[in-house]
Amino acid sequence: MLNLERLRTLDALARHGSVSGAAGGLHVTTSAVSQQMAKLEREVGQQLLAKNGRGVRLTDAGRLLADHAARILSQVELAQSDLEAQRGQVVGELRLSAFPTAARGLFPAALAALRAGHPGLRVHSSELEPEAAVAGVLRGDLDLAVVLDWYNKPMPLPDGLVKAAVLDDPADVAMPVGHPLAGRAEVDLAEFADDEWITWGVGEFCHEWLLFTLRSMGVEPRIGHRAAETHTQLALVAAGLGVCVAPLLGRHPMPAGVVTVPVKQRVRRHVFVVWRADADRRPSIRAAVEALRTAGRAVSQAS
């Protein structure tokens, strides 16, 4: 009889590609992962791992069993979802993440509503950038993730995920009050060709979007500073160090000395929540999605 927890360990090794990665995803020690794999090898009577430099790799037998493990664990998830749905109670644990401004702008209201309405549900939240969050949902490290894409740059989602819209988030350009364009009713992004931009970290989805958008207008952006948090970007703007794109979600209160002006192209981010299709019937998933959408509607109405 195959042990479910050992299959879960094998699945984590296959998904993460290393013992340390599997240990992190399972929230156990590397020693615990090695012990579980040694027990699983004895159970099946075959070598599942082989040394690969300083790490390990799956053998042919290991890959074969890992494929079965993924399907078995998916069926277990479906069974748990069906049982939870039949019971109709929002209980248990829920792990969710959001990118920083969504965590700031949505989580306080959404998580407070979940706690008040469903005291039997234990929610654990974290901040993650969209790409890492999607990977976490796929691996099973997260149950839900709030992610985003832009009006002109959609984020492709892997098979096996379900999504629901949370809100459309309008974005303006933030600039110092003394900027020549600060008094305008609207601006064009190309008008900032000579300005230094304050943007997100290299490789982050929003940073890549800004480069893509400006270059599509024939503008090679001058990147002066990078910061993950909107409020850090706005503080740099207030100091006269450049301009930035400032989405509405999570940007208040605005620091003194900063003006925001709408963009003619109506720049918007699409904020949505994703989860695994095999967990679709879980009442806790449905409750969390509704709480996030309610928080999103409140943000939209406030604007």
Q: What is the C-alpha separation between 75 and 148, in angstroms, rounded?
A: 29
Task: Give Cα 128 to chain centroid, integer Å.
Answer: 5
Secondary structure class of 274 (helix, strand, coil): strand
Q: Return the closest-CA partner of residue 204 out of 95, 100, 97, 96.
A: 100
Provide the mean pLDDT of the chain: 90
Tokens of 82: 């069906």
pLDDT in single tens digits along all 303 residues of the chain: 788 888 889 988 888 888 988 887 777 889 989 999 999 999 999 999 998 888 888 999 999 999 998 888 878 877 776 777 657 778 888 999 999 999 999 999 999 999 999 998 999 999 999 988 998 888 788 999 999 999 999 988 888 899 999 999 999 999 999 999 999 999 999 999 999 999 998 888 899 999 999 999 999 999 999 998 899 999 999 999 999 999 999 888 899 999 999 999 889 999 999 999 888 888 899 999 999 999 999 998 876
Q: What is the C-alpha separation between 148 and 142, in angstroms, rounded?
A: 16
Task: Give Cα 205 to chain centroid, integer Å.
Answer: 11
Residue 246 pairs in a beta bridge with 172
The per-residue pLDDT for 220 is: 95
The per-residue pLDDT for 47 is: 93
The per-residue pLDDT for 146 is: 98
Q: What is the C-alpha separation between 11 and 96, in angstroms, rounded?
A: 21
Q: What is the pLDDT of residues 157-168, one digit of tens each?
A: 888 899 999 999
Q: What is the pLDDT of residues 237-294, one digit of tens each?
A: 999 999 999 999 988 889 999 999 999 988 999 999 999 988 888 889 999 999 999 9
Supply the DSSP symbol for 242. Answer: -
Asked whether the beta carbons of 186 and 283 are under 8 A apart, the reply is: no
The per-residue pLDDT for 86 is: 59
Question: Phi, psi (5° rounding) for residue 175?
Answer: -145, 160
For residue 286, CA distances in Å to 88, 92, 275, 291 come to: 11, 13, 10, 9
Question: Between 4-16 and 130-139, two packed helices, what is the crossing angle to 10 degrees?
Answer: 150
The per-residue pLDDT for 4 is: 86
Residue 49 pairs in a beta bridge with 58
The per-residue pLDDT for 48 is: 92
